[in-house]
Amino acid sequence: MANPKKSALGRGLSALLENEDTDITGSTGVSGKATVGSIAEISISKIEANPFQPRTRFESNALEELAESIRTHGVIQPVTVRKMGNDTFQLISGERRFRASQLAGLNTVPAYVRVANDQTMLEMALVENIQREDLNPIEVAVSYKRLIEECELTHEGLSEKISKSRSNITNFLRLLKLPPEIQMALTKGTISMGHARALINIKDEQKQLEIFERIIDEVLSVRDVENLARQAKRPAPSKNDTAQKKEYYKDAKYGISQRLNAKVDLKFLPNGNGKIVIDFVNEHDLNRIVELLKSTGNNY
């Protein structure tokens, strides 16, 4: 007989919950006998928070809205818990629903009861959170990092487990290299993922912070930041290069001045363009310079 196909986390939390190794086939401390796939009503006072919860921010307004929905309709989607000692339970997933149920004043919540070791529990909590749509990019990045480090996964292994491309994983992980100020702004939604990805391409942290401040002060678009990032990546001219350019411009200015027998100045503009300024003392002098330029051809 062929070996059964191994469950993949990429199928979501349900892939783990359908695994018979994580189910309680008969437990005490819940109302009735919980069998595989069954739901039990558990006292909220007997459920403790998940220590592996990747989410650190729960918006109070959103929680209150969910609490109001629960008061009206009840808990539609059960939370998932694991059985602990002394008739207590620990959340595996569904902390937002659990908190909203507390706000709604419920005494019990419907729950799937599972047996899970810490490693499995961590994976389940992280994977469920990664698949949520309301996570900010930093929460996703931290979840990726924890799965790689604490569950000893490679980027390729993580890609298979969560059904995300390796480039997606890499792009999120790179966010954690940004300065704390920028990470916090991304967490709060002050800047977008596009802004952050453009800033990542700047190697100099001080330059990152300078452009970040401009994003806030000038309300720059992602395209604006991408252009600034490209400019910041251009190598600064060396001292030798700068000295050679100054010498070249000095010689050019002197040569033109001598040829036209007039005062000449070179003006450089911020965008890299410039202009040659030729002084003349009167209309006759101007005509003389014009005739000289016509006869000079391509010499200058």
Domain of 112, CATH number, reads 3.90.1530.30
Q: What percent of the chain has pLDDT over 90?
A: 24
Question: How confident is the model at residue 116, as a pLDDT?
Answer: 65
Catalytic residue from among 59, 65, 68, 95: 95
**Same structural domain for residues 207 and 289?**
no
Quote the domain boundaries for residue 284.
240-296
Kindly give, in sequence order, each residue whose CB lies less than 8 Å from that of residue 41, ignoring residues fewer than 6 positions away. 30, 31, 108, 109, 110, 111
Query: Which H, E and C letters describe 188-205, residue by residue?
Result: HCCCCHHHHHHHHCCCCH
More confident residue, 210 or 126: 210
In a domain, 292, yes or no: yes
Question: How confident is the model at residue 13, as a pLDDT?
Answer: 45
**Same structural domain for residues 208 and 265?**
no
**Same structural domain for residues 132 and 264?**
no
**Same structural domain for residues 247 and 213?**
no
Looking from the CA of 107 toward its CB, the CA atoms found within 13 Å total 0
Express each pLDDT in 267-291 by its tens digit. Answer: 876 556 788 989 998 988 888 888 8
Confidence band of 11 (pLDDT split at 50, 70, 90): very low
More confident residue, 172 or 123: 172
Element (H, E) at 265: strand 264-268
Number of domain units in the chain:
3
**Same structural domain for residues 52 and 137?**
yes
In a domain, 177, yes or no: no
- Which of 62-76, 120-134, 170-184 has the weakest average pLDDT? 120-134
Q: Calculate mean pLDDT across residues 5-18.
A: 42
In a domain, 170, yes or no: no
Whether this model's pTM surpasses 0.95 = no
| DSSP states along 46-80 | GEE--TT-------HHHHHHHHHHHHHH--SS-EE
In a domain, 265, yes or no: yes
Q: Where do the H-state alpha helices sit in the chain?
A: 13-17, 60-73, 95-103, 118-130, 137-150, 155-162, 166-174, 180-188, 193-200, 205-218, 222-233, 239-260, 283-296
Coil vs helix vs strand at 6: coil
Which of 117, 99, 118 minimizes the C-alpha distance to 109?
99
Structure tokens at 211: 């452009």
Question: How confident is the model at residue 163, as a pLDDT?
Answer: 85
Question: How confident is the model at residue 107, as a pLDDT?
Answer: 94
Structure tokens at 62: 């959103």
Domain end among 95, 119, 150: 150
Q: Calculate mean pLDDT across residues 45-74.
A: 81
Q: What percent of the chain has pLDDT over 70?
A: 77
Cα(80)–Cα(110) distance, integer angstroms = 9
Question: How confident is the model at residue 113, as a pLDDT?
Answer: 83
In a domain, 180, yes or no: no
Q: Dihedral sign, CA of 193, 197, 198, 202?
A: positive
- Mean per-residue pLDDT over the chain, rounded: 78
In a domain, 164, yes or no: no
Express each pLDDT in 88-99 by its tens digit. Answer: 888 887 888 899
Say whether 139 is catalytic: no
**Same structural domain for residues 110 and 223?**
no
**Same structural domain for residues 66 and 114?**
yes
**Same structural domain for residues 13 and 143?**
yes
Which one of 118-127, 180-189, 232-241, 245-254 scores highest in mean pLDDT?
180-189
Structure tokens at 43: 């006292």
**Same structural domain for residues 228 and 265?**
no
In a domain, 3, yes or no: no
Structure tokens at 75: 């808990």
**Same structural domain for residues 262 and 277?**
yes
Cα(266)–Cα(274) distance, integer angstroms = 7
In a domain, 172, yes or no: no
